[in-house]
Chains A and B, each alone.
Chain A
Amino acid sequence: MPSLIGVLIFFLIPFGIVVYYSMINNPVMHEFVGIENYTKLFQTVAFKRAATNTATFSLISVPLAVILSLWLAVLLERNIPGKSIFRTFFLSPLMVPTASVVLVWQVLFHTHGTLNQIIEMFGGNSVDWMKSSHGQIIIIVMFLWKNMGYNMILFMSALAGIPRDIIEVAKLEGASGWYQFIHIKLRYLSPTILFVFILSLINSFKIFREVYLLTGDYPYDKMYMLQHFMNNTFNSLDYQKLSAAAVLFSLVMIVIIAILLTIENIFGKDVE
């Protein structure tokens, strides 16, 4: 197990140190202070903002990514020409480096940019995308653009894996297309839905890349993500705060995953 050593050195053992760091007052004194670092963290405005923004972003974008890509997959399941070409097109953003196309996004969402011109053409009011609460919309769009293709492929293969005879029986018994979808297909898809959900969640924390490329170190309030906070805290070398944030974040993740797995267990049983 060569990789175990590496994982131990770089991830597991240091994580123990991180937990320890999160509970001492400073690296020189090594005094145990319990949860003081955590309370301090919660009093930090930047952290609160970063956590709220990240949470809102994930809450909106992850379900959207799951639903929209499932919808695309269902559409492409039909008998339409050029299926595989569409699949290629939808998947292509995955392989395009974000940094390459970031300028196009900037042009699209600029105050005098393309999108605002279109809005004005139809008589609407232009929106300052980058510097208002609409900023979240930009990153949600970018997130969906990048991740939907991958999710769609997962759903397509799962849809193809549903036993044909069950659908046939349902059809014979006069079940409508909608009924078939809700009561049969969704049941079979539940493990995939869980997986796509988790995957999208993981990816939603990587949105910092897009935000950073668009706006740099200190973006508008609404786009200030957790990773910005981490980066800026690294620059000020505040290990205690960082460690507390990391521990807290990992606990939140564990709770979310545990909840998801429980839900999946409840639904998964019905299928078998």
Chain B
Amino acid sequence: MTLKKKEHLLNIIITVFACIAAIMFLMPTVLTLANSFMTSSEISANYGAMLENMTDDKKTFISENVNLKFLPDKVTFDQYKNVLLKNPDYLLKFWNSVILTVPITLFQMLLAILTSYGFSRYPNKFKSIVFFAYIILMIMPYQVTIVPNYLVLDELGMIDTADPEKSWAIALKIQELLSATTRSRLAIILPAVFSPFSIFLLTKVMRRIPVSYVEAAKLDGASELQILTKIYTPLCKGAIVSITMLVFIDYWNMVEQPLVLMKDSYLHPLSVFLSQISTGDIGLAFAVGVVYMVPTILMFLYGEDHLIEGITYSGGIKG
């Protein structure tokens, strides 16, 4: 009896602790949301001191302290109105993010499904070596892979305008066919499409599919394409959804790639732009932040169970 009571007490303590931890985990997100409903004067009153530090001009600021506020004095949608209607710049950057992230995610997943099918359905010695190479590549930090990426893209004339004297014929051809904007976007998209992360995860999931399923389908006269689309893909649906989410958020968040590979800051995605938000616009920054997290939060709410299932599959590097 006493043991049970002790157990019970311990559970209560743990629950309380977990609540505190959960609040800490949620806080940055919730605060951003709450602050996005403040009027811009309220924001500059509270965060004025921060602006002072960020700019060199001698602005007089209202309070020395930066006050983090949980609740706005007056709820307004002014910030959102400003972001969405008056400042096309933000929408443009948002569009930049979309046009980079969506193709990367789609093509990477398409490739991943095909490649993982190849890896798991017809394993052989050569493929296991290649798969191992993929794992090594996946583990390599971006700081390593960006150097070779950069060199190739530069040769292809996708980073700067190709010099007709020195460049390869293919670089000039690419230049002739594609606009500067498309080239710079492709510089980000192309290497990202071939990222091995999704292939690694999906192959591991597909390897669990029993061979008997495939054999049964073959007896019924199913073609390779049918096996892929009617058996493998539906069986891996959860994993595919979750990997798509992980890939999407990873590239939605990207900062390094555009900084190095895109010379034209006009094309930078919102993730990079948010850090350079000019001080005068600080009243908008929270709202922009919220707008930026909407797609990923929606994905999270919609696909949380799939996400957890997918993460669970990924455990164990050798499995």
In the complex, which of the residues A12, A91, A103 contacts B289, with contact meaning CB atoms closer than 8 Å? A103
Chain A residues near B260 (CB-CB < 8 A): 230-231, 234
Q: Which residue of A lies closest to B52 (CB)?
A: A112
In the complex, which of the residues A89, A113, A205, A257 contacts B66, with contact meaning CB atoms closer than 8 Å? A113
In the complex, which of the residues A13, A95, A205 contacts B141, with contact meaning CB atoms closer than 8 Å? A205
Task: List B15-70 residues whose CB lies under 8 Å from chain A.
Answer: 15, 17-18, 21-22, 25-29, 31-32, 35, 47, 49-50, 53, 64-68
Give the contact stretch, choosing among A29-37, A145-153, A167-175: A145-153
Is A108 positioned at the interface, with any CB of B under 8 Å from its CB?
yes
Q: Is the CB of B32 within 8 A of A100?
A: yes
Give the contact stretch, choosing among B79-87, B215-223, B228-236, B297-305: B297-305
The interface on chain B, measured as residues whose beta carbon lies within 8 A of the other chain's beta carbons, has a size of 93
The tally of CB-CB contacts under 8 A between chains A and B is 269
Contact residues of B: prevailing secondary structure: helix
Known contacts: A14-B149, A257-B139. The answer to whether A107 contacts B66 by CB under 8 A is yes
Is A53 positioned at the interface, with any CB of B under 8 Å from its CB?
no
Known contacts: A80-B15, A104-B31. The answer to whether A110 contacts B49 by CB under 8 A is yes
Is B285 positioned at the interface, with any CB of A under 8 Å from its CB?
yes
Q: Whole-angstrom distance from the CB of B1 to the nearest CB of chain A?
A: 18
Chain B residues near A106 (CB-CB < 8 A): 50
In the complex, which of the residues A91, A97, A227, A250 contacts B140, with contact meaning CB atoms closer than 8 Å? A250
Is B180 positioned at the interface, with any CB of A under 8 Å from its CB?
no
Give the interface centre of B190, B191, B260, B317 by most chain A CB atoms within 10 Å: B317
In the bound complex, how far is the Cα of B21 from the Cα of A243, in angstroms? 43
The interface on chain A, measured as residues whose beta carbon lies within 8 A of the other chain's beta carbons, has a size of 91
Chain A residues near B139 (CB-CB < 8 A): 198, 202, 253, 257
In the bound complex, how far is the Cα of B22 from the Cα of A149, in angstroms? 11
Question: Can you add 11 more A-B contacts, CB < 8 Å, to A10-B148, A101-B293, A153-B312?
Answer: A3-B115, A9-B152, A17-B148, A97-B252, A99-B274, A145-B28, A154-B312, A191-B316, A213-B271, A213-B275, A246-B144
Residue pairs across A and B with Cβ atoms less than 8 A apart, 24 shown, are A1-B118, A1-B130, A2-B114, A3-B114, A18-B151, A88-B304, A89-B22, A90-B25, A91-B307, A95-B299, A97-B296, A99-B255, A100-B32, A101-B31, A110-B53, A110-B66, A145-B28, A202-B138, A212-B256, A216-B275, A226-B143, A239-B147, A243-B147, A246-B147
Q: Which 7 A-B pairs have CB atoms at the shortest separation, nearest pair first?
A: A14-B148, A6-B194, A100-B289, A205-B141, A95-B300, A89-B22, A157-B312
